[in-house]
């Protein structure tokens, strides 16, 4: 299903950091110096600023990750976009989405996900374990990286909707059968999948849009995440709680604490700083017909873990009219967050008058990581005609 890639550990932080030589791109697609310059100018300023603004990374770590980004990410994005290019990663039209992940168990870290046109050599360069991958050709996918303080980890994201559109087969049936049949450890997904199957079969649901896989060996705790969305404008907290608990099927202490934490800030996420007026339980989205409409939920599955772990993603731009409003709400949730966004995106990231660069805000509570929040941003991609 996916190439499983070992976590790549950074060199000791006691001297110059070395990154392996850049991998060669496929010969049938030409990437010019002009393309490299375009993507460098688009991606590197915000990426570099986020590394600095978190306050988590040493100068050596920052340089190491910037070098990694220059040598491995930018050359594999592909040619610069032209009129008619259709990137669906974010509502901004971008091929790159950056994020800051906050946890009360550690310092903030940077993550990013990108849509590569050229994939071939990336798993090989990092060190691929093909255990869960059974195709001769790497299919179209998104690649994500978590930039920890001592290592980087990779994830791959696939869209089962392609097969659904071609065959009409229900994505739940396809994905659940595939996960149960994975070797090794596929049988370990059965208990959690049973709860998820029962819940999704009991009421109308949208298709599973994306499957995400941790790119580490299955035996080392690789997780699979299934991403779906609620129907547009179904964002009353009672509805959200119903889905986070799988209709009462997941009621462990950690999940219920997470629900209560989210309840306390739900009005801020939907840009209702004073709270909802009496009798109001939900809020209308803007542009409810777009591919990004609806609250997103992911279900984290791990072999032999009894229940799936939920994570919620709120499309902030659907409920707000400016970056400033979003940044102000973040400041109420997390001190100093607005300053980090301003440093990465300039005044545009916190202003009233520019296109909204904030995409999602996600929340999770786990025994291992504690309170867990991620803020996602994606700069507007200007495509010349």
Axis crossing angle, helix 59-68 with helix 33-53, rounded to the nearest 10: 150
Whether 385 maps to a domain, the answer reads no
Percentage above 70 pLDDT, the chain: 72
Q: How far apart are CA 108 and CA 58, in angstroms?
A: 13
Whether 384 maps to a domain, the answer reads no
pLDDT band at 130; cut points 50, 70, 90: low
Percentage above 90 pLDDT, the chain: 34
What total number of domains does the chain contain? 1
Lowest mean pLDDT among 97-101, 149-153, 160-164: 160-164
User: 264-292 pLDDT, tens per residue?
Assistant: 888 888 888 888 876 667 888 877 777 77
Residue 335: pLDDT over 80 = no
Under DSSP, the state recorded for 367 is: T
Q: How far apart are CA 128 and CA 121, in angstroms?
A: 10
Model pTM? 0.80
Lowest mean pLDDT among 195-204, 238-247, 346-355: 346-355
Cis geometry, peptide bond prior to residue 184 (ω within 30 degrees of 0): yes
| Cβ contact 75:122 at 8 Å | no
Comparing 227 with 53, the larger pLDDT belongs to 227
Residue 48: pLDDT over 90 = yes
Comparing 307 with 265, the larger pLDDT belongs to 307
Whether 383 maps to a domain, the answer reads no
Left if phi > 0, otherwise alpha if psi is -120 to 50, otherwise beta: which for 112?
A: beta
Average pLDDT over the chain reads 78
Whether 287 maps to a domain, the answer reads yes
Whether 164 maps to a domain, the answer reads yes
Q: What average pLDDT does the segment 94-99 reach? A: 85
Q: Which helix (H) or strand (E) holds 200?
A: helix 190-202
Comparing 356 with 209, the larger pLDDT belongs to 209
Closest by CA position to 96, among listed 77, 72, 68: 77
| Cβ contact 217:251 at 8 Å | no
Residue 26: pLDDT over 80 = no
Report in angstroms the alpha-carbon separations of 165 from 15, 160, 207, 239. Answer: 52, 9, 11, 28
Q: What average pLDDT does the segment 118-124 reach? A: 60
Beta-bridged to residue 365, according to DSSP, are 371
Q: What average pLDDT does the segment 89-97 reach? A: 71
Dihedral Cα 116, 117, 121, 125, nearest 10 deg: -20
Q: What average pLDDT does the segment 322-349 reach? A: 58
| pLDDT of the residue at 350 | 42
Residues whose CB is less than 8 angstroms from the CB of residue 336 and which lie 6 or more positions away in sequence, other chains included: none
Q: How far apart are CA 215 and CA 145, in angstroms?
A: 10
Q: What average pLDDT does the segment 17-29 reach? A: 42
Whether 124 maps to a domain, the answer reads yes
Chain centroid, CA 110 distance in Å: 11
Positive or negative, the CA dihedral 204, 225, 145, 334 is: positive
Residues whose CB is less than 8 angstroms from the CB of residue 352 and which lie 6 or more positions away in sequence, other chains included: 322, 323, 324, 325
- Domain span at residue 37? 4-377
Whether 382 maps to a domain, the answer reads no
Percent helix, strand, coil in the chain (nearest 5)? 35, 20, 45
E strand spans, 159-233 = 210-214, 224-229
User: 207-256 pLDDT, tens per residue?
Assistant: 998 999 998 889 999 999 999 999 988 999 999 999 999 999 999 999 99
Burial tier of 183 (Cβ tally within 10 Å: 0-12, 13-18, 19+): exposed
Name the range with the highest mean pLDDT among 154-163, 202-211, 333-342.
202-211
Lowest mean pLDDT among 124-133, 154-163, 198-207: 124-133
| Cβ contact 209:161 at 8 Å | yes
pLDDT band at 349; cut points 50, 70, 90: very low
Q: How far apart are CA 181 and CA 164, in angstroms?
A: 19
């Amino acid at each position: 299903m996916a190439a499983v890639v070992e976590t790549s550990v950074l060199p000791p932080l006691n001297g110059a950091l070395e990154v392996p030589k850049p991998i060669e791109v496929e010969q049938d697609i030409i990437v010019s110096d002009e393309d490299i310059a375009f993507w460098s100018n688009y991606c590197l300023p915000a990426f570099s600023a986020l590394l600095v603004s978190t306050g988590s990374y040493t100068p050596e770590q920052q340089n190491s990750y910037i070098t990694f980004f220059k040598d491995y990410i930018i050359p594999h994005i592909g040619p610069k976009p032209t009129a008619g290019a259709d990137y669906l990663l974010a509502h901004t039209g971008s091929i790159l989405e950056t994020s800051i992940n906050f946890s009360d168990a550690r310092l903030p870290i940077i993550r990013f996900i990108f849509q590569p046109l050229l994939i071939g050599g990336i798993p090989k360069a990092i060190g691929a374990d093909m255990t869960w991958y059974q195709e001769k050709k790497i299919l179209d996918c998104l690649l994500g990286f978590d930039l920890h303080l001592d290592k980087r980890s990779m994830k791959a994201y696939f869209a089962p909707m392609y097969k659904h559109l071609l065959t009409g087969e229900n994505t739940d049936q396809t994905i659940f059968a595939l996960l149960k049949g994975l070797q090794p450890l596929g049988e370990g997904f059965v208990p959690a999948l049973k709860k998820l199957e029962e819940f999704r079969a009991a009421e109308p649901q949208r298709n599973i849009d994306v499957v995400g896989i941790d790119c580490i060996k299955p035996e080392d705790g690789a997780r699979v995440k299934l991403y779906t969305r609620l129907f547009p404008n179904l964002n009353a907290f009672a509805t959200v709680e119903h889905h986070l608990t799988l209709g009462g099927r997941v009621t462990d202490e950690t999940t219920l604490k997470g629900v209560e934490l989210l309840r306390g800030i739900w009005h801020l996420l939907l840009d209702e700083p004073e709270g909802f007026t009496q009798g109001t339980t939900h809020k209308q989205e803007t542009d409810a017909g777009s591919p990004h409409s609806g609250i997103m939920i992911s279900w984290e599955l791990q072999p032999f873990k009894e229940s799936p772990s939920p994570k919620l993603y709120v499309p902030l731009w659907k409920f707000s009219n400016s970056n400033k409003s979003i940044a102000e709400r973040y400041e109420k949730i997390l001190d100093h967050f607005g300053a980090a966004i301003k440093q990465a995106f300039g005044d545009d990231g916190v202003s009233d008058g520019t296109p909204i660069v904030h995409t999602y805000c996600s929340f999770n509570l786990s025994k291992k990581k504690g309170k867990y929040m991620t803020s996602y941003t994606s700069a507007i991609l200007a495509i010349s005609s």
